Structure 1
Amino acid sequence: MAAVRHEVADAPGSGWRRFWDRGDWWRAVLLAAVYYGVYQVLSIAVGAVFGGRGGIRGEAGSAMDVFIGTGLPIILGAVVLLAFAASLGWLGELFGPQPVRGRRWMWVGIAVVLVINVSALGSVDFASAGAALVASWLLTGLFVGLAEELLTRGFVVNLMRKAGRGEVAVALVSAGVFAALHAGNFFTTDQGLATTATQVVYTFFFGIIMYLALRLTGRLIWPILLHASTDPTVSLFAAHPAAGDPLSIVASLSTYLVIVTGAVLLVVFLVSERRRRRADATAPAS
């Protein structure tokens, strides 16, 4: 697949826009690092305003605790990203039709994620969780999908393509930035090194699947919604599993299923892109 490049040397507009219109991986990393810092500041600010658990936030894991502690910072982060996109005039580019499309085998990753999410949702003890918590997680998940996909499959992909990078590099940098953002959990949570390492590997291959979903569907909204269905279902299942549900076997293996699926699809993708490049190189000029 030929690289997609946007010529910007003589593009009109402010220096701010021209800087970002040049794209490339280091601008993608810079943007992700700045966003991560902004998100952490927003999390601290939300914690300072609403205080610890026990007040308006309620108990740990309650509907308000999920919405305020997890949802509100990511909602504010999504607003920041949308404002940044608007300042560059990129909203149409990010949410419009993609210039590079995919192939039917890319459905495999989407299917695996959907099966996991349906299995997790079907294995939730809804009586134990309660309607308020389910609604809180669904709303939170929608903004998690929006913010994280807008950053990594939106901005990062766009920046890489503007620099004329090939789609292999686009996929790897997009997934790598996504995984690196989750590496920070080692410092901001108490989950430990082993759990964080597993999460980084998982998010890298989940990012590969989301990139393939972007390629296949041609619209950013679909990986956003696919991602938005993942965090709530898996989190609800982890906190409120239904006893004896056979579907829970799939949900409990979700991390490993995503890693294996993403790794296999990455190999297939690398081979597919290599063949495309060879075909492009040998094709007669039109």
Structure 2
Amino acid sequence: MNTTAQRSGWARFWDHGRWWKALVLAVGYLAIYEPASLLMAPFVPYIGDEDSTSYVLVLIVVPVLIGGLVLVGFGASVGWLRSTFERQPIRGRGWMWIAIVVVLLFNVLRFASIDYSAAGFDWVAAWLLAGLVIGFSEELLTRGYVVRIMRSSGHSEVAVGLVSAALFALLHGSNLFTGQALGPTLLQMVYTFFFGFCMYLALRVTRTIVAPILLHASTDPSIFMQGTHPAVGGIGSLAQLGNIAVVLVGVVLLIVFLISERRIRHHDQIMLSNPVRGS
């Protein structure tokens, strides 16, 4: 492993974490993803409507894949890639599993209420691939690199979790500049903030980035496929409450998280001020 002195100036720059570097990285990802989407625009007349397999592959998978490959290259260039996928050093708490259970539950409900015969195998497969690419890229950025930057600058886990979720919401706020109306964009940002916070809790409690990647990878396909080809039945109606449930549960878990982290900091301060008592 390279020592600090042997590392390049580029790597040393990113090693000294600051919150604004996390913002720069997120904006940089958008600066790559958005042009990559525009590069696909000439193919629109040839790929059919939003319900076509080619649409999903060309306009969703390819741009995100380009952004994901750039993120992998970035991680390799600063020596973060391997450690990002290693076991995380900070433990979670039992109640954090609630975030995983709620997200996973509604993903399963949505997958169970899709009209697969109407959707077609190719379209379903394309969306599953899209979900994997989206989950990998966005979680590598926000729960991987952003979390690392924030922790390396000595911020509390409250700041780590909130900034990670906020930058994740920012990524989706960029839809405002691609023609999406303000109202739906704001609602999407609220949902993605709390979903991103749930993914941070998944990272904490499992201590591996693989967990939020897989949860995220199953979320986007289930939402879009169930919304496009819903099956008739009560499960579908319940599944459609998933986004609301994530927001409501996210609010409650955020409150619990803030209280829990405050108690931990208070306990640590007592131990530091009275080491004899803490021994």
Give the TM-score band, short-chain normalised.
over 0.9
Q: Kindly provide the amino acid, as one letter, of the partner of residue 80 in structure 2.
A: W
Q: 2:262, 2:80 → 1: CA distance? A: 30
Q: Deviations over 1:230-282 (max 9, x none)?
A: 00011000000012x11112221122111101110000000010111111112
Instruction: Pick the aligned partner of 2:20 from 22, 26, 40.
Output: 26
Query: Where does the alignment leave 5 or more consecutive residues of structure 1 unmatched?
Result: 1-7
Mapped contact 1:24–1:165 kept (Cα < 8 A): no
Q: Kindly provide the amino acid, as one letter, of the partner of residue 211 in structure 1.
A: Y
| Distance change (3 Å), C-alpha of 1:46 and 1:86 | same
1:187 matched to 2:181 = no
Q: 1:15, 1:83 → 2: CA distance? A: 16
**SS state of the match for residue 40, structure 2?**
helix
Mapped contact 1:208–1:262 kept (Cα < 8 A): yes
Query: Where does the alignment leave 5 or more consecutive residues of structure 2 unmatched?
Result: none
- Structure 1 length-normalised TM: 0.92
**SS state of the match for residue 13, structure 1?**
coil
Higher fraction of helix? 2
Compute the displacement of 1:58 (Å).
3.0
Instruction: Pick the aligned partner of 1:198 from 187, 192, 197.
Output: 187
Q: 1:248, 1:158 → 2: CA distance? A: 38
**SS state of the match for residue 184, structure 1?**
helix
- In structure 2, the residue matched to 1:52 is 44
Identity of aligned residues (%): 49
Q: 1:135, 1:219 → 2: CA distance? A: 26
- In structure 2, the residue matched to 1:62 is 52
Q: 2:50, 2:268 → 1: CA distance? A: 56
1:37 matched to 2:40 = no
**SS state of the match for residue 229, structure 1?**
helix
Matched positions, count: 272
1:264 matched to 2:252 = yes
Compute the displacement of 1:47 (Å).
2.5
- In structure 2, the residue matched to 1:107 is 97
Mapped contact 1:234–1:251 kept (Cα < 8 A): no
Q: Kindly provide the amino acid, as one letter, of the partner of residue 137 in structure 1.
A: W
- In structure 2, the residue matched to 1:17 is 11
Q: Deviations over 1:53-93 (max 9, x none)?
A: 3x2x2333211111111111101111110010000110122
1:178 matched to 2:172 = no
Q: Kindly provide the amino acid, as one letter, of the partner of residue 52 in structure 1.
A: V
Compute the displacement of 1:100 (Å).
0.6
The RMSD of aligned alpha carbons is: 1.3
Mapped contact 1:128–1:240 kept (Cα < 8 A): yes
Mapped contact 1:63–1:136 kept (Cα < 8 A): yes
Q: Kindly provide the amino acid, as one letter, of the partner of residue 182 in structure 1.
A: H
Pairs within 5 Å for 1:1-286: 11-48=5-42, 51-53=43-45, 55=46, 57-189=47-179, 191-243=180-232, 245-283=233-271, 284=275
| Distance change (3 Å), C-alpha of 1:223 and 1:163 | same
Q: 2:112, 2:162 → 1: CA distance? A: 33
**SS state of the match for residue 23, structure 1?**
coil
**SS state of the match for residue 124, structure 1?**
coil
Q: Deviations over 1:122-152 (max 9, x none)?
A: 1100011000110000001000000000010
Q: Kindly provide the amino acid, as one letter, of the partner of residue 194 in structure 1.
A: G
**SS state of the match for residue 97, structure 1?**
coil
Compute the displacement of 1:11 (Å).
4.7
- In structure 2, the residue matched to 1:4 is none
